[in-house]
Amino acid sequence: MYQNVIFDLDGTLLNTIDDLADAGNWVCARRGWPEHTVEEYKRMVGNGIPKLVERFAPEGDRDEATLKEALEQFSARYDAHKEDKTAAYPGMVDLIARLKAAGVNMAVLTNKADPMAGPVVNAYYPGLFPTVQGALPGMPTKPDPTLLHKLMERMNATRENTLFVGDSNVDIRTAKNGGLTGCGVLWGFRSRQELETEGADVLVQTPEELERVILGQ
């Protein structure tokens, strides 16, 4: 049994991709940039909003001033519409509730900006995650383990009894960089091949499989 579990947010707990894509394409349309498909956005997310904006911007429009303006546009649009289509993945709210009842200590680590991360988590998983850590100004984001280790200190978690759960190569790399076991979920934004190539310690297809991994059943 893992006494502590740290979850990624987008693609793991919440299906946010449609709202992210809509906000990105809203910016693209207003700037005269080519728009992108939802599948393309699945490959762009994972390293935080500034990197997402850089990725959906045309190569010739990635100067600092343009990206700053586009980021401001995206952030305002996304903040206003971040709950239009977003939903918890089927079975995940019930799973988290069962794990909490079983005494598992859980937290969320996301590259979403910290002021936004907590309210988003609590909107879909009310009262289930006492600790949520998002991206902070001037601090490296996942897969750098800095914020992961700070989060583990807050949880009184050790490497031996902590599992990191995510849906992308960024998450598996975060687990490795932090010295943790990395579990990849197959319902998120990335493929089994990506997670296997990155070296996930375990892969799960359903919340029920994840529960068995965490509880050691």
Residues 125, 93 contacting (CB under 8 angstroms): yes
Say yes or no to pLDDT of 217 above 90. no
Q: To which residue do tokens 């990395």 refer?
A: 182
17-81: CATH topology: DNA polymerase; domain 1 (1.10.150)
| 62 vs 162: CA distance, rounded Å | 39
**pLDDT, tens digit, for every residue of 82-113?**
999 999 999 999 999 999 999 999 999 999 99
Q: What is the pLDDT of residue 73?
A: 98
Q: Are 120 and 145 in contact (CB under 8 A)?
A: no
CATH level 3 topology of 4-15+86-215: Rossmann fold (3.40.50)
b/e code 164-189 from CB counts within 10 Å (16+ = b): bbbbbbbbbbbbbbbebbbbbbebbb
pLDDT tens digits for 28-63? 999 999 999 999 999 999 999 999 999 999 999 999
Domain spans, the chain: 4-15+86-215, 17-81
Judged against a pLDDT cut of 90, whether residue 182 lies above it is answered with yes
Task: Count CA atoms within 13 Å of residue 84 on its CB side.
Answer: 13
The whole model's pTM is what?
0.95
